[in-house]
């Protein structure tokens, strides 16, 4: 009987440890000096009072070192970067020489940094349910747009 309890406790400890490394610690490219597409730091401009921005920060920490810029108004930064009004969301991330506007999944940032297109950045307008940092389930494709140097936009990818 005691042997069964000891074996059961060992199994629980092993499963809990595996769960920690698989689900809580994040992918193996966590910010330990590794980089996403050669970029080791994301700079995130957000309001300190925005809960979904905080959840996006938690998501992004799995992939890069972060420099968080809590600002009273994010719009001046968006204006400086040339992000069209129709493409805006609640926070803006600077990734290398690009911006990533809104709740952008890491797959889109990886594509941006690997392809290095001649654009200003990418945007996931609004706050789609189920996107990184947003509650709820995904209700359709996330349409990520490229913002071109002339301010025009086109579809960059769907996830």
Q: Which CATH number fits domain 31-158: 2.60.120, 2.40.128, 3.40.30, 1.10.8?
A: 3.40.30
CB atoms within 10 A of CB 73: 9
User: Is the model more confident about 145 or about 7?
Assistant: 145
Percent of the chain exceeding pLDDT 70 equals 76
The residues spanned by each domain of the chain are 1-30, 31-158
With cut-offs at 50, 70 and 90, classify the pLDDT of residue 49.
confident
* pLDDT of 113 over the 50 cut: yes
- Cβ 64 vs Cβ 93: under 8 Å: no
Q: What is residue 82's three-state secondary structure?
A: coil
Q: Bridge-partner residues for 158, per DSSP?
A: 143
At a CB cut-off of 8 Å and minimum separation 6, what does 152 contact? none
Instruction: Report the pLDDT value the prediction gives residue 37, as an integer from 0 to 100.
Output: 62
Instruction: Report the pLDDT value the prediction gives residue 40, as an integer from 0 to 100.
Output: 75
pTM of the model: 0.76
With cut-offs at 50, 70 and 90, classify the pLDDT of residue 35.
low
């Amino acid at each position: 009987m005691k042997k069964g309890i000891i074996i059961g406790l060992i199994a629980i400890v092993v499963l809990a440890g595996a769960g920690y490394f698989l689900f809580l610690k994040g992918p193996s490219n966590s910010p330990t000096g590794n980089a996403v597409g050669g970029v080791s730091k994301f700079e995130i401009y957000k309001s300190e009072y925005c809960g979904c921005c905080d959840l996006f920060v938690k998501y992004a920490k799995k992939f890069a070192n972060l420099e968080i810029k809590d600002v009273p108004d994010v719009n001046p930064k968006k204006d400086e970067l040339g992000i069209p009004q129709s493409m805006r969301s609640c926070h803006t991330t600077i990734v290398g020489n690009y911006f990533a506007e809104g709740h952008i999944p890491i797959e889109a940032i990886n594509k941006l940094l690997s392809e290095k297109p001649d654009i200003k950045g990418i945007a996931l307008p609004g706050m789609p349910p189920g996107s990184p940092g947003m509650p709820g389930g995904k209700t359709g494709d996330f349409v990520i747009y490229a913002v071109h140097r002339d301010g025009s936009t086109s579809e960059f990818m769907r996830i």
